[in-house]
Structure 1
Amino acid sequence: MPSSSSHSAIVEPKTQWLEVILLWVAGVSAAMQFAKFSISFDTLLNHYQTSATLTGASLSAVGLVGLVFGVSAGMIASRVGYLKVLVGALLLGGVLSFIQSFLPPFNLLFITRMLEGLSQLGVVVAAPTLIAKLSAPQHRSLTMGIWGTFFGVAFAVCGWLGKRILDQQGLSTLFLSHGMLITTIGVVLFFILRKNPVLDLVPVAENQGGFFAQMIRIYRNPRALLPGFVFLFYTFTLVSVLTYVPGLTGDASQNKWMFVLLPLISTSGTFLAGAIAQYWMRPQRVALMAYVGLAISALVLSMLNDVPVLFGLVVCIMVLFLGMIPGSSLAMIPALARNPSEQAQGYGLLAQFGNLGATLGPPTFATALAAFGLSGLVVLVLCVCCFGIVFSLLAGRLNTVS
């Protein structure tokens, strides 16, 4: 193993930025599997004449697969090979988008959405593992911060360009455009990375016992588990804050710009966290700082309900701290993991816990808001911060892998 380390040091002197950016684009194209249905929700309702519940289920079906199979994906990727899983997942996503472009019967459309969940999961497990391997140690937290922006960027691009395609060309062209994008990036990555000498050194895990025995071992590994727990309370909170908080100001014009601005602020926070974790402090401390900042801004928010401008400003600060949490969580995984297999397991758990948080968070926040108003939301955010702080502190006790 020492000789492998020294060999790695020879062939990986610097960050391969082109490859890192292409892998990030792959992540953006995978996240568009969520975003394309989000922006076309009303159009889908009109075309298929189904209930909002069924159409909503087709939107969330992608995340449901990640909730169930997150850890399994990390195990499969470490055995089959990360590049194979990545390219296979992207090409599968392309085929499914092409099928959707024919606007098939709703039952078939729903099946394609379930399969897109496998595609999306393959990308979010394999791509960051490859990014970490293609990044020099002095840039790894920074590249993880860049990677962490893929979800917000996908929604921003779909909200701008995708909405224009939908309005001018229709649903079929929207899905066809996505199919062309995700297929193209899959083919490009295959030809660019298949002979990359750095990736030749990424070991594929050998058989380490039965499936369930491996799963138990992963869940008992704090290096893979704790970044996922830190991430869980972010996804539990973010969607709810972006959805419900702007409407609490009572100012219609302010609500409109907050819906546009807040996702961009969240994405900026993710990149900022990666930069801070790279140059100033360990990612565990960045997560701790983000949760403390979130708690303080939530307390301040509870006192400003009658001042719309200040309320909006504090919400922006709150979302900036929220956005820093995924950047620090993603940076934690390569910092703590002792090998690429452990990294893939960490990203699998991150996907699983992230989908769990996104599933449980909105109804919980909606209930708290309905029962107690703004104070209910603030108390819930403070509870979330308590858990986030505890898991950030526990992660901080682990030794960072150099």
Structure 2
Amino acid sequence: MSGAVAGRAWLVVLGGVAAAVHVGKLPPAIPVLRDVLGITLVEAGFLLSLVQFAGMTLGLLAGLAADSLGLKRTMVAGLWIVGGASVLGGWATGAGTLLALRAVEGFGFLLASMPAPGLIRRLVPPQHMSAMLGVWGAYMPFATALALLCGPAWMAWTGWPGWWWLLGGLSALMAAWLARALPADPVQPPAASRDWAARIGQTLVAPGPWLVAAAFGVYSAQWLSVIGFLPSIYLAAGIAPGLAAAATALAAAVNMVGNLASGRLLQQGFTARQLMSIGFVTMALASVVAFSALLGPPEAGALPRYLAVLAFSTVGGMIPGTLFSLAVRLAPSERTVSTTVGWMQQWSALGQFLGPPLVAWVAARSGGWQWSWLVTGGCALAGLVLAGRTSRLPQVRGH
């Protein structure tokens, strides 16, 4: 793989990071927003997940549009939208305005992230595709860790509006860079923009897109629920904000290890079912250790609980890298790759939209986080079933 081609593929990953930091920017801001704007815990759960509303409702259509309008154009437009909404969000004075702009950010995030696997597939040779898609699978945990680590210090200096403005400017900068550095989208034949109904139908009648999409949904629901509320959980336990931010950032960052490993392991002969099963089983067991009353009250067994969270994120990270590779290989045709990824993104967004409010509701009803494992464990069990079903499908494209 030439240096120029590799550099462009990595630039696509950086563009995804610049969009994904808007998902990760909220967890360290939740305690601040609750103090400044009086946001409740359940409202915080919806703020955490509302960025996924557009993906939850428009993922398939966005994938279809990207196939028709061009992957590069779609990604650049998404970065401009998410950046602009973040800048405007810095002037919000109430939860309602912030919620509305989070929905706009979600639309931009969808447009910026959904075309990336197709762009990477276009930019790298087939023999490097699984490994590079494993790298792409790490964009979300890297962005989340970056936001969790930098957010508290930046907000202590500028307040939460300055945090929104900083990340909005970063997204706009990446939009301009991608527009200049990536090759132009290939010219589509006139018929390609008119066969949208056929592409939707071809995608939705095939079992592969449904299975990988549902598996991504149950993975995303539990991962964001755990990582998103860790700062609040640690602060409630009396842990200093700086230490809570660093611990949560590490928990998000180690997810990259699993993502990167998934591409290498797939190339070495491990099956997608093996990697997904290991990931879901580990997430289920680790969440029980991390949140249940097995180790006594929340302040007891702090180290084993935290190690369980690290295992939850690290080993679970093999799931998204595996699913991105599967989505490309199980798309029913060459022209439906982005549509399939869009459908997967739609289910991922649905999981991220429903997971955090559900966990917050369970915590509010039970007076603590000790029953959170019921939600994450249910998601993991569903993921195991889906992994078994996915393994029975023929893969129409090679690595």
Q: TM above 0.5, one fold? A: yes
| Residues 53-64 of structure 1 aligned to structure 2 (within 5 Å) | 57-64=46-53
Alignment map for 1:255-334 (pairs within 5 Å): 256=244, 259-295=248-284, 305=295, 308=301, 309-334=303-328
Match for 1:73: what amino acid? A
Q: 1:310 to 1:343 in 2, by over 3 A?
A: same
Identity %: 23
In 2, the alpha carbon distance for the partners of 1:289 and 1:267 equals 16
Measured against aligned partners, the alpha-carbon deviations of 1:201-247 in whole angstroms (never above 9, x if no partner) come to 8889442364xx76454332223222111111112222334447996
* Pairwise CA distance, 1:283: 3.0
The two structures, once aligned, show a CA RMSD in angstroms of: 3.8
- Cα offsets for 1:188-212 (capped at 9, x unmatched): 11121134xxx538889442364xx
Alignment of 1:1-400 (within 5 A): 16-44=5-33, 57-103=46-92, 109-195=98-184, 200=186, 205-208=192-195, 210=197, 215=200, 217-242=202-227, 243=229, 256=244, 259-295=248-284, 305=295, 308=301, 309-365=303-359, 381-400=376-395
Q: Over residues 243-276 of structure 1, what are the superposed CA-to-partner deviations in whole Å (9 max), with x where a residue is unaligned?
A: 479969x986699475343222223222222322
- State the TM-score, normalized to the length of structure 1: 0.80
Equivalent pair of 2:199/2:335 in contact (CA under 8 Å): no
- Matched letter for residue 94 of structure 1: G
- Unaligned 5+ segments in structure 2 are none
Amino acid at match of 2:76: V
Q: Secondary structure at 2:25's aligned position in 1?
A: helix
Instruction: Tell me if the contact between 2:45 and 2:360 (Cα under 8 Å) persists in the aligned partners.
Output: no
> How many residues matched?
385
Larger mean CA deviation between 119-128 and 176-185 belongs to 176-185
CA apart distance, 1:79: 1.3
Report what 1:4 is aligned to: none
**Consecutive unaligned residues in structure 1, runs of 5 or more:** 1-11
Structure 1 residue 57, shift from structure 2 partner: 4.4
| TM-score under structure 2 length normalisation | 0.81
In structure 2, do the counterparts of structure 1 residues 296 and 150 end up closer, same or farther at CA, with 3 Å as the change threshold? same
Instruction: Give the C-alpha shift of residue 73 in structure 1.
Output: 0.9
The answer as to whether partners of 2:199 and 2:336 remain within 8 angstroms in 1 is no
CA distance in 1 between counterparts of 2:221 and 2:230 reads 13
TM-aligned CA deviation for residue 96 of structure 1: 2.7
Counterparts in 2 of 1:386 and 1:111: CA distance versus 1, 3 Å: closer
Q: Cα offset for 1:13?
A: 8.0
* Larger radius of gyration between Structure 1 and Structure 2: 1
Query: 1:188 corresponds to which letter in structure 2?
Result: W
